[in-house]
Structure 1
Amino acid sequence: MTAQHAAAGQLQLNYWAEARLQRWGHIAVPLSSTRVAIHGGYGRDGKKLRRLDDVVIVSSDGTVAPTVSSTPRPKARERHGAAAVEGGFVIHGGRAGGAFGDAWRWHDDVWRELRCEGSPPAPRWSHAFVALPGDACLVCGGRGDAGDLDDDAYVLDPATQTWSRVAAPAFPVAFACSTSDGQTIAFGGGRAARFADAAWSELALDDATAAASRRLAACVCATARPGELVVAGGVPADEGEVGGVAVLRIGEDVKCVAEAPLDVMRAYPVHAAAAFSGDGVVVFGGGVPCLSFAPVFGDSVRVVMT
């Protein structure tokens, strides 16, 4: 079932309900221009609610197909990080009670644990995990069993299975993303910085971008346009209402070029995941627990620039 809404700021939002995508704390990784892999999170398994360990493939035409993954495979988890690597993806961390610090690689339905050497990051969840040029991955921010992890950053080389520590940004990272032209940008607390040559350089933000950077549990994804990102959902730190969709363009500074509110009766992208697919960015799922009633799960929404 799909609903289409014209939105402000040259954005079109197309909502659709799909039970297998109604989860939170999962990851979404593009495998190609038309296929996205969804892994893990917290959602429904038949009549039960639990943390998940499945991989689901979503095509740009809306087809949803579960896969049969190999064993051994990573334990069920939520709020882990993931990045696309050579037609598959790498996951890191997450939680299921306590924090995980392991890393796994998925390709063609086969999981392989990365037995890494070097200086690994502390186990964590809700962290940034971003693909760098050359198939390396950057880790920063997040939360561990002892509290927030705001002052460290690491690079994982999946080919050599080696961790190395690098400089951390000068602010707590809420989310980070790599653009289609290879820029790696971290955001948090009204600030942003670009990572290049193992160093960070801060970027100026306009007011709308600064507001988007303060969101907690938002999801972020690159578009096909160079230097462009979509930030969706999350909860603004100073408000408590679910954030909408913001399109950010990165040059010497970062500007918000389009915004649109979300219909929170349909989509509820808190701890959601986003990936580019087809002609736009798709925000998959999200939701919140509820102590009095059943958990709230949001529908998915495709964001298209018109």
Structure 2
Amino acid sequence: MADGTTERVLRLLGLLQERRTWTGPELADRLGVTTRCVRRDVTRLRGLGYPVEASQGLGGGYRLGAGTALPPLLLDADEAIATTASLLLAADGTVAGAGDATLRTLAKLDQVLPPRLRPQVRAMVETTATLERGGLQVDGAALMALAGATRDRVRVRFAYARADGTASERDVEPSGLVATGRRWYLVAWDTDRDDWRTFRVDRVRDLVVTTWRCTRPAHPDPGAYAQEAVTVAPYRHTVRARVRMPADELRALVSPQTATVLDDAEPGWSVLTAGADHLDWVAVRLATIDAPVEILEPVAAMREVTARLAGRLQRMA
């Protein structure tokens, strides 16, 4: 293929990967060619091993199907390095079996990368070590099943172990999966409790995906709901404080697993909300922020805690 044709075929492949179905005229318009030229380029993609399906009639068009052959992977240098780095980070992830799966994927990646990129990718793999995070892992099959149920808007049933070890049966309408970096959570409407709930996926057992359709609209923001539930709801105390720092800068200093940060009404200030079983932990964390801090609640309890910590730190100094 000539250079111009090659570039156009790659652009066509990118469009087919962006959306499920394209009509011939839509692709022709995006590529600046005729529909006849689109048909020729589709034939070239099929010759490279990409299974491009075509259907006629209303709702028809071209789409990229699932194929059995793996053609050469079309990545530039930045994309290849980004893919490799993501796989290396996944090696110590929270999904059971991710380490072995990562090694297999890296091996396949090495086989299909263009020769000019292989030395860079191999160098990253050979010189990078990852430290195991430890902790509980989730079943990859459960994640896939929950993701599919969320996408298809069908209810699921499972046995759920509470924090105290007691088990309960749950019938829920899944709305979204949220990964916090160390744990996975399912945000769902609990049909028995008639309310939104978050469930740690590592505590889910005997998962059954039903064919019953969800009747309630999906949660508008599963991420925000899960963060509120993770950072505040499980703890004995809730601390709110104003920090003289823009919200974006403050978010870079605190983990989304430990606190929520919102813009304050006064420009240049933020409001931080954190949950904790021990107020000492929150006081220490706030003391590490190099900016003025005003406690909003609980004022009296935090004043006592910070005074006690100040005495300890003074003695250490």
Rg comparison, structure with higher value: 2
Higher relative contact order (CA 8 A, sep 6+): 1
**Bigger strand share:** 1
**Bigger helix share:** 2
Give the TM-score, by structure 2 length. 0.26
